[in-house]
Amino acid sequence: MSNSEGTSESITTQAWRGFASDNYAGVHPEVLKALVRVNSGHQVAYGDDLITAELHERMVGLFGQEVGVYPVFNGTGANVVALSSITRQWEAVICTKTAHVNMDEGGAPEKVAGIKLWTVPEVNGKLTPDAIRSAAHDFGFVHYAQPGAITIAQSTELGSVYSIEEVTALSDCAHELGLRVHMDGARLANAVVSLNCSVADMTINAGIDILSFGGTKNGMLMGEVIVVLNPDVVQGVEYFRKSFMQLNSKMRFASAQMIAMLSDDLWLRSARHANEMAQYLAEKVEGIRGITLASTVDANAVFARMPADVVERLQTKWRFYTWDAPDLVRWMCSWDTKPNDIDLFVADIEKAMAG
Ligand SMILES: Cc1ncc(COP(=O)(O)O)c(C=O)c1O
């Protein structure tokens, strides 16, 4: 069915809401407005524009010192470029087995950047100093891919959040071993509001060398920003960004989105809301017999265990993922999740559990 402008009516009439991913949500209206605002006149391309210069100033203010600021298109790109710039060709990166770079980037770190990943077990989604040490050995032995860096996701892929002390302990351990430290902050804002701390305290002051600063999951149209926090150990970000196809020629539109996020703390407001919705969902499902939470709910993800047949029934109506096992589910809340979405969802969960 098409209207006179040729667009499908069903696209609007079938607007539905779900819990599969924070990426299923649309773009925050304040971000859209910012895009329109910068869409006048000409600007120099490839990042030498006034808006990207303003983003740089904003980031310097946020981190309290000079930082390198490199907008890119997506999270996988941010991670691959960031990891490339802190490792040498023969070096490997230590991460958890459940890390997004390992499980969900289509092998991009290996395929695109040629980086060997040494994967280690996680605890509640987190890397630990002991796990780093278990892979950081055989330095100087040519047959072993030489550990060069670690990467951690904050918040983690399992919805937990590292405390500042935990981040610092990991950085200290890595640095003592001569490794550089990357933080995958696809959900950085959710972690910052969860810890109620400054982003500087959770990153640069906790020993992070380079950061993928997330935006898309939190309401941007597309874009993340690589932030170089310790230039002494980072090399060639600008060249990797170009050769890995992450250099946006109309950069002003990427930068304007992130400026909008940082304006009036939109990034924190949106993440706080998503986290609160996850808490609300967790509290409601925790009271349902037969359902147990599978992980701490520190940010905007709820992981739960429930009978696999119930999961299947629910998935005929609601979109969400199972995670590694048919009875383990992941429910994500986003900046636009409404309490009513959760009430409707939980009512269906209750019905499905009752058979
Ligand atoms: C922890 C983490 N890192 C990075 C990303 C970004 O990936 P993408 O390349 O899909 O933007 C995601 C998205 O799911 C993620 O969960």
Tell me what percent of the residues of the chain surpass a pLDDT of 90.
94
Query: Which atom number of ligand 1 is nearest to the Cα of residue 74?
Result: 11
Structure tokens at 20: 């599969």
Given this model, what pLDDT does residue 11 score? Answer: 53
Q: State if residue 152 touches ligand 1 by the CB under 6 angstroms criterion.
A: no
Domain boundaries, the chain: 9-26+267-353, 29-265
Q: What does the pLDDT look like over 98-113, one tens digit per residue?
A: 999 999 999 999 999 9
Tens digit of pLDDT for each residue in 125-170? 999 999 999 999 999 999 999 999 999 999 999 999 999 999 999 9
Q: How far apart are CA 160 and CA 79, in angstroms?
A: 19
Whose structure tokens read 């900046």?
335
Which pLDDT score, from 0 to 100, does residue 121 have? 97
DSSP-assigned beta bridge partners for residue 181 = 150
**Quick check: CB of 151 below 6 Å from ligand 1?**
no
Which of 3.40.640.10, 3.90.1150.10, 1.10.645.10, 3.40.50.150 is the CATH number of 9-26+267-353?
3.90.1150.10
Q: Which amino acid is at 258?
A: M
The finding on whether 160 has its CB within 6 A of some atom of ligand 1 is no
Q: How far is C-alpha 66 from the chain's CA centre?
A: 23
Res 56 pLDDT > 90: yes
pLDDT digits (tens, 9 = 90+) for 332-353: 999 999 999 999 999 999 999 9
Q: Please state which architecture CATH assigns to domain 29-265.
A: 3-Layer(aba) Sandwich (3.40)
pLDDT at 2 over 70: no
pLDDT band at 17 (very low <50, low <70, confident <90, very high): confident
What is the pLDDT of the chain when averaged over all its residues?
95
Helix (H, G, I), strand (E, B) or coil at 150: strand
Question: Going by CA atoms, what residue is nearest to atom 3 of ligand 1?
Answer: 186
163 Cα: distance to centroid of ligand 1 (angstroms):
21
Report the atom number in ligand 1 closest to the C-alpha of 21. Answer: 14
In this prediction, residues 2-22 reach a mean pLDDT of 63
8 has a pLDDT exceeding 80 = no
From the list 47, 77, 53, 82, the residue with the least C-alpha distance to 230 is 82
Ligand 1 pocket residue status of 100, Cβ below 6 Å: yes
C-alpha of residue 76 to centroid of ligand 1, in Å: 6
3-state secondary structure of 107: coil
Q: Are strands 180-185 and 210-213 parallel, antiparallel or unpaired?
A: parallel
Kindly report, residue by residue over 201-229, the tens digit of the pLDDT: 999 999 999 999 999 999 999 999 999 99
Band the pLDDT of 355: cuts 50, 70, 90: confident
Shortest-distance Cα residue to atom 7 of ligand 1: 75
